[in-house]
Amino acid sequence: MEMLKKFKKKEGFTLVELIIVIAIIAVLAAIAVPNLLGSVEKSKKAKDEANAKLIADAIIIYVSEHPLSADKSNVKLEGTSDPVVKAVGDQLSKLPKVESKEYKDDGFFYISVTTGGEIKVAGKSDGSKVIYPK
């Protein structure tokens, strides 16, 4: 008889209560996770736009000191011997990569500069998906 009283005195949660709490947490997670993933993509897009502006500013500095003799079209920002790209690399401590799905092609920024001073920074090698200017 004393043994039964010992079991009845134990306190705690029932299995049903635990399942309900787990279900509530699962519903909250199902609502929160897609919102967080959308925020990550928005931040990558904003980062790419800021990097494109930074690249354009570095090109402006270079072109103001070294006028171009010919237009440059869709020059890959990394792995080329182009003097404009080298100047951008000198202005920036590290060449950034394209990260957002909206602009990303092969992960590199591509620049186009005209002798008239028009600058475009794109995320695709064919010059489409212009990131800067918007």
Q: Are 121 and 110 in contact (CB under 8 A)?
A: yes
Question: Do the beta carbons of residue 126 and residue 76 sit within 8 Å?
Answer: no
Q: What is the pLDDT of residues 60-110, one digit of tens each?
A: 887 788 777 777 777 777 666 677 777 777 666 677 888 888 888 888 888
Q: Left if phi > 0, otherwise alpha if psi is -120 to 50, otherwise beta: which for 17?
A: alpha
pLDDT of 3 reads 59
Tokens describing residue 118:
């028009």
pLDDT of residue 21: 95
Map tokens 């001073």 to a residue. Answer: 117
For residue 1, pLDDT beyond 60: no
Residue 2 clears pLDDT 70, i.e. is over it: no
Question: How high is the pLDDT of residue 35?
Answer: 81
Residue 110 CA to residue 107 CA, distance in Å, equals 10
User: pLDDT tens digit string along 37-67?
Assistant: 788 889 999 999 999 998 888 888 877 887 7
Confidence at residue 128, expressed as pLDDT on a 0 to 100 scale: 79
Q: Identify the pLDDT of residue 84.
A: 73
The pLDDT, as a whole number, for residue 101 is 86
Decide the pairing of beta strands 72-76 and 130-132. unpaired
Q: What is the mean pLDDT of residues 10-38?
A: 88
